[in-house]
Structure 1
Amino acid sequence: MRHQRAHGDSAADVRDFFTPRAADWDSRFPDDGPAYAAAVAELGPRTGDAVLDAGCGTGRALPALRAAVGPGGTVLGFDLTPAMLEAAVRAGRDRDGALALADVARLPLRDGCLDAVFAAGLISHLTDPADALRELARVVRPGGSFALFHPVGRAALAARHGRELTPEDLRAEPNLRPLLARCGWRLDAYTDEDTRFLALAVRRD
């Protein structure tokens, strides 16, 4: 899970926020594992697929992604913050996927090499959301899938941080649908409940 902040964070802002929180991140949110697994199941990667957890943090989605694609599939976990990747290694999640320090706006991947992308809380921390979403579209094959996930919904998350929802929230469906469309995606399913946020999109041909 990612802390909700206004979009526009620089890479340095993201690192400054997550570095001191990395060591106890999982212990702060100990019950999110089933929600991650359920979201990965709805993303629907198949045996042998190549998948990316974009902004993987401590790698909580990696076990579910590995289970879905099997030993012959490819699981990648990219994050901007070294301390979060180190926490993922301490948790043993490097056994489920290859971890790397990388910016989702400049991915070290060739065009169309992935079948699916999973992203938990990512959009709230992108300096330029459209650039990053276009870059994710570049590396996913036509017809591939994309999940934007958070283990609590928008209203519950805002309340947790003492804020109200605003019409400018990028994750609001009227904002997210056209943003995804401009970046090569088609929004196919949208759920925003207290217990989770999940937007599922498909890479357009």
Structure 2
Amino acid sequence: MSDHRADRPHEVRAFFAARAAAWDTKFPDDGPAYEAGVAELALQEGDRVLDAGCGTGRALPALRAAVGPRGTVLGADLTPEMLRAAVEAGRARHAALLLADVARLPLPDAALDAVFAAGLLSHLPDSAGGLAELARAVRPGGRLALFHPIGRAALAARKGRRITPGDLRAEPNLRPLLARAGWDLIRYEDEDARYLALAVRRG
């Protein structure tokens, strides 16, 4: 299955760099959806969580509220302009921000209890490798939430496209992809109101 971004992560960076300054104003009403998505991780006070591909950091306040002051919240993104927008929006106070490729995280094995990833999967140059890297960084029994504030059909319509059978986010494609990377898919939702795939790190 080919992906036009496969060998060009700089194209992903360039795409988001050009849109970073206006990103939050383009999607001003997504806050409650992000809060609801974060809630699905069932985080506990003191947990260690990563927002993978955090962008402007819209999930960071909810992640911090969930893990409390003793918890650890990290936000990692490939695009400096997105992280700068997160700082300008005041979200850096909720997390440590990392300029990092989520396919090569600067974290030890099993360092995290959970990962939240909004809109990440379609931007990973190597989807299987990226999911395996997230699995490496999460302890056995830890959780992964692949999230988007609208579902696949609504997102495709917004972009003037149609859903294709090869879409990695479709459950029949996603379940085996996650399994090969060390995750068990335990919940899948794809509705107009949101997309959520919740997985648990195998022991």
Report TM bin, short chain.
over 0.9
Contact persistence 1:6–1:125 (CA under 8 A): no
User: 2: distance between equivalents of 1:115 and 1:6?
Assistant: 32
User: 2: distance between equivalents of 1:42 and 1:52?
Assistant: 14
Q: Deviations over 1:165-197 (max 9, x none)?
A: 100000000000000000000000000000100
SS in structure 2 of the partner of residue 21 of structure 1: coil
- Mark the runs of 5 or more structure 1 residues left unpaired by the alignment: none
Structure 2 CA distance for partners of 1:163 and 1:19, relative to 1, 3 Å: same
Say whether residues 1:55 and 2:53 are aligned partners.
yes
In the TM superposition, residue 8 of structure 1 has moved relative to its aligned partner by: 2.9
User: 1: distance between equivalents of 2:8 and 2:118?
Assistant: 18
RMSD: 1.1
Say whether residues 1:161 and 2:159 are aligned partners.
yes
Q: Deviations over 1:35-83 (max 9, x none)?
A: 0000000111110000000000000000000000000000000000000
Q: Deviations over 1:101-146 (max 9, x none)?
A: 0001100000001000000000010110000000000000000000
Partner of 1:69: 67
Normalised by the length of structure 2, the TM-score is 0.97
Say whether residues 1:123 and 2:105 are aligned partners.
no
Partner of 1:107: 105
Partner of 2:13: 15
In the TM superposition, residue 18 of structure 1 has moved relative to its aligned partner by: 0.5
User: 2: distance between equivalents of 1:15 and 1:39?
Assistant: 25
Flag the structure with more relative contact order, 1 or 2, with Cα contacts below 8 A and sequence separation at least 6. 1
User: 1: distance between equivalents of 2:6 and 2:29?
Assistant: 29
Question: Number of matched residues?
Answer: 201
User: 2: distance between equivalents of 1:131 and 1:124?
Assistant: 13
* One-letter amino acid matched to 2:202: R
After TM superposition, the structure 1 stretch with the greater mean CA deviation from structure 2, 180-189 or 10-19, is 10-19
Identity of aligned residues (%): 73
Contact persistence 1:22–1:83 (CA under 8 A): yes
Q: Deviations over 1:149-179 (max 9, x none)?
A: 0000000000111111100000000000000
Structure 2 CA distance for partners of 1:112 and 1:106, relative to 1, 3 Å: same
User: 1: distance between equivalents of 2:121 and 2:171?
Assistant: 13
In the TM superposition, residue 11 of structure 1 has moved relative to its aligned partner by: 1.6
User: 2: distance between equivalents of 1:7 and 1:37?
Assistant: 30
Contact persistence 2:5–2:12 (CA under 8 A): no
User: 2: distance between equivalents of 1:8 and 1:196?
Assistant: 26
- Mark the runs of 5 or more structure 2 residues left unpaired by the alignment: none
Contact persistence 2:5–2:11 (CA under 8 A): no
Structure 2 CA distance for partners of 1:9 and 1:90, relative to 1, 3 Å: farther
Contact persistence 1:8–1:125 (CA under 8 A): no
Partner of 2:31: 33
Normalised by the length of structure 1, the TM-score is 0.96
Structure 2 CA distance for partners of 1:54 and 1:196, relative to 1, 3 Å: same
Say whether residues 1:180 and 2:183 are aligned partners.
no
User: 2: distance between equivalents of 1:194 and 1:114?
Assistant: 30
Contact persistence 2:151–2:193 (CA under 8 A): yes
